[in-house]
Structure 1
Amino acid sequence: MKIAILDDYQNATPSLKCFELLADHDVKVFNSSTRGLGQLAIRLAPYDALVLIRERTAFNRALLARLPNLKLISQTGRLSGHVDVAAATELGIAIAEGVGSPTAPSELTWALIMAAARKIVPYANNLRDGLWQTASINPELNGLGFALKGRTLGIWGYGKIGQTVAGYGRAFGMRVLAWGSQASRDQAVADGHQAAASRAAFFEQADVLSLHLRLHDATRGIVTAEDLARMRSDALFVNTSRAELVQPDALEQALQKGRPGHAALDVFSSEPLAADSPLLRIPTVLATPHLGYVERDSYELYFRHAFQNVVDFANGVAANLNNPDYARQARR
């Protein structure tokens, strides 16, 4: 099969052990992204199978219809609304899903919390410029960081990642306050944490508030400007899940108003994030380039499953399909 691996910014996949699974196939790794429909259609038209790195490229009906040779989309991890499944099914394109792990995104979440709380990045950057114990040359921003022990960690979404981050908070002596579905809150209480009395209380009480929700129609824009306005001026808002969970522009406006006072972000509504993004101009924002799953162990896990799904499909075994009713004859 002719296989394309998309959006491998660091050209990491050829160095993975699991890359050997594709040894019998014709593989092209694309290290740059393109967003235009026409450009994508020209680039991808020759390929039988595409391996997607999470949702770095979206596939709508218009694009899928212009890929006449495409038989399989192999997704690293789970789908998250970036592929038009109904269109793919109608066009006879199979979609295979992989597996994920909470470890890397949970660890990154905690790294961001620690770094933002103690202002590690600005301290380190200013040290290179000869400034000792200086978080900012702006007196208003040159305040002290804060320790986590004794403070309240708000977790919205008590799934695998949320549970892991909550465990980190407990280990650091934090009070863990959960919000989300009733089942999530009940599980948090069963695990020895607390459930917020209300959504308003959740935003008002959290010193650090971290989102761990899946993105779908019900959660898109679920965090509102009103929610953010309830946060304290010294609170930290953390999002390593999906930028679209927050209403458009609500976080930028809230940070400019000072509530919450700080944010640590790994996800953005448009990625790669443009260098002139307003978020990068806000000094109280710690931003990383969507690194939640970007580490070697996660790549080996995600891509091994994605590559194996391609190999199985090439051998006539359609496994782990999101759309098992896809119709091959629609395209052949």
Structure 2
Amino acid sequence: MRIAVIDDYQDAFRTLDCAARLKGQDVTVFQAPATSEAALVKMLKGFEAVILLQQRTAMPRRVLEALPDLKLISQTGRSTGHIDVAACTEVGIAVSSGGGGGPTATAELAWGLILSVARHIPAEVAALKAGRWQTTLGTGLSGKTLGIYAFGRIGSIMANVGKAFGMKVVCWGRAGSLSRAKEAGFDAAHSREAFFSLSDVVSLHLPLNTETRGIVTASDLALMKPDAILINTSRAPIIEDGALVAALRQGRPGRAGIDVYEAEPVLGGDHPLLSMSNVVCTPHLGYVERATYEALYSTAIDQIEAFAAGAPINLVTA
């Protein structure tokens, strides 16, 4: 089977233990992203299967209809919102999406961002390399309020670490989310307004879908304290378009740690957040660690092997 592995930015796939399971197959790994639909069609011409890493590349109808040889999309992770599944069904492309990742890696990255912003770690590292010593005064977390928006698998880890740091943890989200938080011994905010106005750190952990797109509004951000920190390791569009940059320029919240962007990858430093001294930016590293890659790609290979054996698994239909 001719298999394409796309968007492997670090050329990591070849180094994974699970990659050896495709020995004997015709596998091509692409590091550079396709910059247009036409480029994506050209890249995938002649391939029978493609492994997608998370939601790095969209698969719209126009692309799918132009790939007559493609028979399987093996998706890492469970989200298929970037794939036109209905079009896949119509043109005879199977979509398998069975998960494989876990919440810990993203929670670790979120805490890395919180600590980096609160203690000015990137700025102090740069200053030290430039010959200066102690140029900022950091903010401690003990006794501060950590706001968790959505108490799911990642949010629960974030809350427990916050508790270990001596923070007061308050949660916000849908009824089910708040119920889980209360069962775990954490407080729910009295209102949405109280959640944003009283939290010293707000960490967002919502999936992106039609209900959550733009769910954090400019009005929400305007309620935050001037010295508060906003953390987003989920998806950029859960924040109202343009609201975050404007809010940070206006000083509410005063700081942010951001791992996700409206259009990815961000190349050439072309994003307004990258020029802001009150923001620590990382290139969507939430799930980018070896154990998670092994789990994600191993599931994707399971799906390819099952499809080749005539018994596809984890099928997604429109």
TM over 0.5: yes
Q: Deviations over 1:261-312 (max 9, x none)?
A: 0000111111111313111111101000110111110011111011111111
- Determine what percentage of the aligned residue pairs are the same residue: 49
Structure-to-structure mapping, 1:242-253, within 5 angstroms: 242-253=235-246
Q: 1:105 maps to what in 2?
A: 106
1:39 Cα offset (Å): 1.3
1:86 is matched by which residue type in structure 2?
A
Secondary structure, in 3 states, of the residue corresponding to 1:111? Answer: helix
Bigger Cα displacement from structure 2, 297-306 vs 267-276: 267-276
Secondary structure, in 3 states, of the residue corresponding to 2:4? Answer: strand
Instruction: Work out whether 1:193 is the aligned partner of 2:194.
Output: no
Instruction: Give the counterpart of 1:148 among 141, 161, 167.
Output: 141
1:30 Cα offset (Å): 0.1
1:189 is matched by which residue type in structure 2?
K
Structure-to-structure mapping, 1:70-149, within 5 angstroms: 70-99=70-99, 100-135=101-136, 144-149=137-142
Q: 2:171 maps to what in 1?
A: 178
State the distance in 2 between where 1:116 and 1:306 align: 35
Structure-to-structure mapping, 1:215-294, within 5 angstroms: 215-274=208-267, 275-294=269-288
Instruction: Work out whether 1:304 is the aligned partner of 2:305.
Output: no
Structure-to-structure mapping, 1:3-82, within 5 angstroms: 3-82=3-82
2:81 is matched by which residue type in structure 1?
G
State the distance in 2 between where 1:68 and 1:121 align: 48
1:246 is matched by which residue type in structure 2?
I
State the distance in 1 between where 2:204 and 2:194 align: 16
Secondary structure, in 3 states, of the residue corresponding to 2:159? Answer: helix
Secondary structure, in 3 states, of the residue corresponding to 1:279? Answer: helix
Verify the 8 A CA contact 1:80 1:216 in the aligned structure 2.
Answer: no
1:85 Cα offset (Å): 1.1
1:90 Cα offset (Å): 1.4
1:131 Cα offset (Å): 1.0
Secondary structure, in 3 states, of the residue corresponding to 1:79? Answer: coil
Verify the 8 A CA contact 2:80 2:97 in the aligned structure 1.
Answer: no
Instruction: Write out the 4+ residue segments of structure 1 that deviate beyond 3 Å after TM superposition.
Output: none
Count of matched residue pairs: 316
State the distance in 2 between where 1:161 and 1:151 align: 20
Q: Deviations over 1:153-207 (max 9, x none)?
A: 0001111000111111111111111000111111111111100111111000110
State the distance in 1 between where 2:80 and 2:311 align: 24
1:35 Cα offset (Å): 2.3
Root-mean-square deviation (CA), in Å? 1.0
Instruction: Work out whether 1:314 is the aligned partner of 2:308.
Output: yes
Q: Deviations over 1:196-234 (max 9, x none)?
A: 111111000110000000110000011110000000000
Q: Deviations over 1:103-142 (max 9, x none)?
A: 100111111111111111101111111111014xxxxxxx
For structure 2, the residue ranges without an aligned partner over 5 or more in a row are none
Verify the 8 A CA contact 2:182 2:188 in the aligned structure 1.
Answer: yes
Structure-to-structure mapping, 1:193-212, within 5 angstroms: 193-212=186-205
Q: 1:140 maps to what in 2?
A: none
2:121 is matched by which residue type in structure 1?
I
1:94 is matched by which residue type in structure 2?
A
For structure 1, the residue ranges without an aligned partner over 5 or more in a row are 136-143, 326-332
State the distance in 2 between where 1:162 and 1:171 align: 14
1:260 Cα offset (Å): 0.3
State the distance in 2 between where 1:8 and 1:98 align: 19
1:42 Cα offset (Å): 1.2
Secondary structure, in 3 states, of the residue corresponding to 2:166? Answer: coil
1:80 Cα offset (Å): 4.4
Bigger Cα displacement from structure 2, 32-41 vs 236-245: 32-41
1:53 is matched by which residue type in structure 2?
L
Verify the 8 A CA contact 1:7 1:31 in the aligned structure 2.
Answer: yes
Bigger Cα displacement from structure 2, 235-244 vs 29-38: 29-38
